[in-house]
Structure 1
Amino acid sequence: MIPVHDTNPLRRTPWVTFALVAINVVVFLRMPAAAHSLVGGTTLGQLCDLQAFVERWGAVPRELLLNRPPRLVPTGAAAIGAHGPGCLLGPPNYQKSPVLSVLTAMFLHSSWTHLLGNMLFLWIFGNNIEDRLGRLRFLLFYLVCGYAAGYGFALTDPSSAQPLVGASGAIAGVLGAYLVLYPRVRVWALVPFLFFLPLRVPAWLMLGMWFVLQALYATGYGTAQAGAVAYAAHVIGFAVGALIAWPLRSRTSAPPLGYAR
């Protein structure tokens, strides 16, 4: 299901959600080669430049657990080797903090599809969680879910040298919180059945199905490309968001009209 709109009214402007969406879009537009992925035709040099960029700013599971960067990284230059053209490796000419790389990785995306899909879910569901928690607490919640997803995924694949990028883990936490706080809210969604059929479904059904699918994909069922997507990070982020929101069901409520913080 592709969410389009929820019927959950807001009491205040979700500035943090707007800011997160804007920052993600601006960062993506400044990423080398990724901004050209919509039209295709990316050269090997651009791909190597992108690989070096992602290696520097993405979160690498092996680096997170060892708390140190590798000795050789992509330099951004293309080269012709014994096995054909590829990207040149060399010692890093920068200092990288694995801990901070989880934060920077939350604002990187691999393609327009990756970016727009994440921002759609954040736009629809994030505003109500911000409305419920307050702006500062929502930002902290978002970052905690992102960090939990990043380090949790590293624990599931500690030897991986593949950079982890994207806001999916943090946004999954938002979805988990939404399921706990607003399970009965109706969400308009497009369901692919012959063509895209608009339906209004309860949040528990849409988000529950989303979580089940991510859990199945994380175990390798139903997809041949599980290694290319960090489904385990989605599952972990969702679970952490739901757990954080659970005790808030009775202790928080929608703010009064005109209230800002």
Structure 2
Amino acid sequence: MTEEQWKYFCDFNKEFKQKIEEWKASAPELTRLQQEAARIAKTPDYPFETTVVYNRSLDDITPEDDIKLIVIGDNPGKDEQLAKNNRYLVGQAGKIAEGYFRRNSELGVDFRKNVIILNKTPVHSAKTAQLKTISKQGGPSIAELIKESQIWMAEKTAALHAALGTELWLVGYSELKEKGMFCQYRDTLRNALAENPAAWNRVYVFQHFSMNRFPIDLTDFIKANKKENAPLESNIHELGVLHRKEIFSI
């Protein structure tokens, strides 16, 4: 990173930490709501340790690191919220992503070294769908917190993306569709980048890494379009633009 980019990242990270603490302090009832949502969904028991999760991996980034991607997941799951972790995409989906980039070295991306991982909201739930239950059961204050967190993350991520000049990958697009949990994130991100076409053109949308959906979707795209001889990076970008147009309608 350049000196200016490093300063921008540090300022972002400091503000992000502060917001996490504010959100946690403002909603002490979140643990109970998260437990209830998991019970309703018949999620196997697990320890509830962090209601709103900061990504500690951000603290490992140095000015010498070559950041190539900002990857946006949905929200922190069971593994991510454990106190021993408090890191994003460290569960099965993260392991699949890490393995994918390792196997495809021509992309030149180390998932744990060249990628900033953020989420559409830092509010924890065992499964993303449970956020809807948490929002409903928690009443207006919790619904507003989840909405506010999406707006904040989208605005700050858009600015970070533009400042660093990276690609921005939105993974997990089902809840970005109309009436999905993350419509607020979707619309805020688009509005934030409306006046910056260069940054907008580096936004790509994909299926999630979980259950191998990202590589399966990419393989299907390559076969359907007879792109077997095209460079992998080119195919990834084409697919990402295709899904971006589907989600954002532009």
TM, length-normalised to structure 2: 0.29
TM, length-normalised to structure 1: 0.29
**Which is higher, the Rg of structure 1 or of structure 2?**
1
The structure with higher relative contact order (CA 8 Å, sep 6+) is 1
